[in-house]
Amino acid sequence: MSASQKLASLRLPPLPTVGELIKLYNLRAEKQLSQNFLLDLKLTDKIVRQAGCLKDAHVCEVGPGPGGLTRSILNAGAADLLVVEKDSRFIPGLKLLSEAAPGRVRIVHGDILTYRMDRGFPRDISKKWHEDPPNLHIIGNLPFSVSTPLIIKWLENIANQSGPFAYGRTRLTLTFQKEVAERLTASTGSRQRSRLSIMAQYLCTIHSCFTIPGRAFVPKPEVDVGVVHFTPLVKAQIQQPFKLVEKVVRNVFQFRRKHCHKGIEKLFPEACRPEMTQEVMQRADVDPALRPTELTIPQIRALADAYAHLCTLEPDLQSYEFREELRLKHLSRQQGTPAATLADTASGVQSSPPHC
Ligand SMILES: C[S@@+](CC[C@H](N)C(=O)[O-])C[C@H]1O[C@@H](n2cnc3c(N)ncnc32)[C@H](O)[C@@H]1O
């Protein structure tokens, strides 16, 4: 059998349309679960094409809902499709799809934020990190309510080669609110450059594929939607632990319109703020007057390396959190209790300044 004949044999037999399924099971969109459905199969085919060749692939689809994207993934030749859906109302429709593609669809009724994807696929599909990506893809028209926490969780998984990335450099093709998609792909100096841009780009090659107008969804969301493709890098551009990078980037971007040293200052307790900030800026050789949005990833790497160096000299620095200190000060003002006493009772929180 030729490749195209094989692909044709994998196409789904005639089924009720997605619109008919929605009517059949009375599937009114739940606002709470960010349900905006794609019924146009040309559009779902276009999303799936961004993932690359899916012939014989293993795929995890996030939030299949009434199954539009699911059909496109199956028609593209996926051999093993695991769908994770939180809303039980969609399960009967997904079972119908599974019967139409015998042995190719596995349905998980669960929450993608807690689902253990490292156990979802056979180990023998794994590739070493430096090799080509495994034949495993994550695809989803993500619920807006979970898209940002989910991508942050997966970025941390990429850094640790865990979760879906225990199989190697698993590729992701996902939809986001257009504004979030723009932040993910924003380059140095652009208005959308943000914490998310750095966290995603130091770990992945990111490609902004195309925009879907809000009117293409049912019901129509307030915003347009961007499709984004991620391939984890063989070598992350910053070698420090994810949590440390996240802390430096979060602090730098908390004052996005100010000079970047303002955010760096807040990595340190008041008592040693000026000296430590100067030490980091000099060691990293970064101009303190640059705005956070103007920093390149190599400059962020230099800042993270310089901060990590200070943490090895003064390990207590790692647990210092400016925001937590502010919160405790605020609480102590309200309760008339010294901030240090509150810090002692708050587990794992360091409010009294480390030695500087
Ligand atoms: C934007 S809709 C997309 C539905 C379908 N994929 C489509 O393109 O028409 C998001 C889907 O994700 C599901 N969902 C929401 N939160 C979820 C979660 N935490 N885990 C798994 N599925 C979730 C919703 O029930 C819904 O089916």
User: Domain 19-232, what fold?
Assistant: Rossmann fold (3.40.50)
What average pLDDT does the segment 270-282 reach?
Answer: 95
Pairing of strands 225-232, 171-177: antiparallel
Contacts of 127 (CB under 8 A, 6+ apart): 133, 134, 167, 168, 169
Element (H, E) at 42: helix 41-49
Q: d(Cα 156, Cα 117) in Å, to the nearest integer?
A: 14
Secondary structure E strands in the chain: 37-38, 58-62, 80-85, 105-109, 136-140, 171-177, 204-212, 217-218, 225-232
What is the mean predicted confidence (pLDDT) over 300-321?
95
Question: Which residues of the chain form CATH 1.10.8.100?
Answer: 242-334
140 is an annotated ligand-binding site residue = no
Architecture of domain 242-334: Orthogonal Bundle (1.10)
Q: Is the dihedral of CA 87, 90, 94, 95 positive or negative?
A: positive
Task: Describe the crossing of helices 91-100 and 68-75 by its angle, rounded to 10 degrees.
Answer: 20
User: What does the block give as tokens for 114?
Assistant: 């807690």
Query: Does residue 219 have a cis bond before it (omega within 30 degrees)?
Result: yes
pLDDT at 116 > cutoff 90 = yes
Which tops the pLDDT comparison, 144 or 247?
247
The answer to whether residue 344 scores a pLDDT higher than 70 is: no
Answer yes or no: is pLDDT of 73 > 90. yes
Cβ-count burial 220-239 (b if 16+ within 10 Å, e if not):
ebebbbbbbbbebeeebbbe
Closest CA to 247 of 259, 258, 263: 263
CA distance 328 to 350: 10
| Atom in ligand 1 nearest the alpha carbon of residue 145 | 16
pLDDT for the residue 348 = 44
Q: Given pLDDT bands bounded at 50, 70 and 90, which one contains residue 12? A: confident
Does this complex have an ipTM over 0.95? yes
Question: Which residues are CB-neighbours of 30 under 8 A, at least 6 positions away?
Answer: 87
| Coarse DSSP helix, strand, coil percentages of the chain, rounded to the nearest 5 percent | 50, 15, 35
Does 111 carry a binding-site annotation?
Answer: yes
Percentage, residues of the chain above pLDDT 90: 75
Helix (H, G, I), strand (E, B) or coil at 97: helix
- In residues, how long is the chain? 356
Residue with CA nearest ligand 1 atom 25: 87
Question: 280 exposed, middle or buried (CB, 10 Å; 0-12, 13-18, 19+)?
Answer: buried
CA distances from 93 to 61, 63, 270, 317, 338 (A): 15, 13, 59, 53, 59
Q: Which of 32, 38, 41, 62 to mutate to test the pocket of ligand 1 (most atoms within 8 A of CB)?
A: 62
Pairwise CA distance, residues 68 & 41, whole Å: 6
For residue 23, the model assigns a pLDDT of 72
User: Which is more confident, 107 or 147?
Assistant: 107
Q: Could you tell me the pLDDT band of residue 13, with boundaries at 50, 70 and 90?
A: confident
Percentage of the chain lying above the pLDDT 70 cut? 90
Mean per-residue pLDDT of the chain: 90
Contact partners, residue 2, CB within 8 Å, separation at least 6: none
**Residue 86 in contact with residue 110, Cβ under 8 Å?**
yes
- DSSP assignments along 135-170, one per residue: SEEEEE---HHHHHHHHHHHHHHHHHT-GGGGGSS-
In terms of pLDDT, which residue wins out, 334 or 209? 209
CA atoms of 272 and 95, how far apart (whole Å): 61
Q: Evaluate whether 331 touches 342 at the Cβ level (below 8 Å).
A: yes
Pocket of ligand 1 (CB under 6 A): 33-38, 63-66, 68-69, 84-87, 90, 111-113, 141, 143, 146
Q: What is the mean pLDDT of residues 170-193?
A: 97
Q: Does residue 341 have a pLDDT over 80?
A: no
**Candidate of 33, 48, 174, 224 to mutate for ligand 1, largest count of ligand atoms within 8 Å of Cβ:** 33
134-144 mean pLDDT: 93
What is residue 354's predicted lDDT score, i.e. its pLDDT? 56
CATH 3.40.50.150 positions along the chain are 19-232
